Amino acid sequence: MTASTSPAATAPATGPAGGPGRPRGRFGADLIVRFNLLIVFLALCVVATLLAPEFLTTQNMANLLQQSALTGIVAIGMTLVILTAGIDLSVGSTAAFGGMTVALLIDKDMNFVLAILVSLAAGAAFGAVMGGLSAYLSLPAFMTTLAGLTAIRGLTYLLTDGKPAGGEIPTAFQLLGGGFLGYVPVVGIVFVVITVIAALVLRGTTFGEYVYAVGSNREAARLSGLPVRGVITAVFAISGMLSALAGVLLTSRLTIGQPTAFNGMELDAIAAVVLGGTNLFGGRGGVFGTFVAVLLLSVLRNLCNLLGLGSYFQMVVTGLILVVALILNMVIEKRGARA
């Protein structure tokens, strides 16, 4: 004679989402940890609205998006590099070179579309060279891109002996960096489109799978037959191209190429990527987190400006936020390891 068991005794416990063994409190905690950056961003927006009523004005929102777009475009490229456990310190110099190049070419009566393509190609070439040195010669990406930071910036100065460049800029070209569609800046739309494309590539293509595989375990990826060197070279080329695009858009907005532009941009881009939850050692993260982080840092700086707080205070607050972000990322990793 066998003992009978009731369905209640044999059915697994379910949480609010229907998952087995998922207590309600644990599920809520997981959501908070997973979407911590978005929660912080929304909370900051509420605080900014309460402290500075002009924060939510249409003009301020447009300015915020326009100001954050260039950093965001560079940070998207940086995200791809860091996902492969690399780093690109040359993005600021490459952006400046791209902006100067497009200004000089347009001043030489080249069609502005062709001038943009040449500038993007130059940025991609710089990135591919540095990525190739790192991938094929096993040189540390930190050192190769640090050398690139210095060399490309020097080349940018050499183009015009350190002087701004530009002349008669076509109106159509000016619309890219300074134009609006309604109340939305065109450069902000470019930022959003690039983010969506990068997200689709990372999550929906074989190349995206390769990026995560290389970042998670480069040697295992190589032994599995993945084109590790090609993937690393490609992400650096994409980073260089997007950096040059940011330079092109800045020249479009200012109507002049500035050789000193984007000094320190690499630090802002890395900060946004880390704050967005991408692991500095590769293999985990994504561009959505970077997108939110860029907006969060922009809102923070915008709020400080509206409240009349100096740049030194902004630097302190930004540093503290990055420390908190690193701690939260560590918590996420530990929770993932225990799951």
At 62-98, the pLDDT tens digits run 989 998 999 999 999 999 999 999 999 999 999 999 9
Q: Say if 297 falls within a structural domain.
A: yes
Domain presence at residue 45? no
CATH at 188: 1.10.3470
Q: Say how many domains are in the chain.
A: 1
Domain span including residue 174: 54-334
Q: What is the pLDDT of residues 290-310, one digit of tens each?
A: 999 999 999 988 888 888 887
Confidence (pTM): 0.88
Q: Is 198 within the bounds of a domain?
A: yes
Within a domain: 44: no
**Is residue 318 assigned to a domain?**
yes
Rounded CA-CA distance 118/37 in Å is: 37
Kindly state the percentage of the chain with pLDDT values over 90: 64
Tell me whether residue 218 is in a domain. Answer: yes
Question: Does residue 31 surpass a pLDDT of 70?
Answer: no
pLDDT tops 90 at residue 37: no
Tens digit of each residue's pLDDT (9 = 90 or more) over 126-168: 999 999 999 999 999 999 999 999 999 999 999 989 899 887 8
Task: In whole angstroms, give the CA distance from residue 149 to residue 157.
Answer: 12
Tell me the C-alpha distance between 339 and 333, whole Å. 10
Q: Do the domain assignments include residue 42?
A: no
Q: Is residue 315 pLDDT above 70, yes or no? A: yes
The number of beta carbons lying within 10 Å of the beta carbon of residue 192 is 14
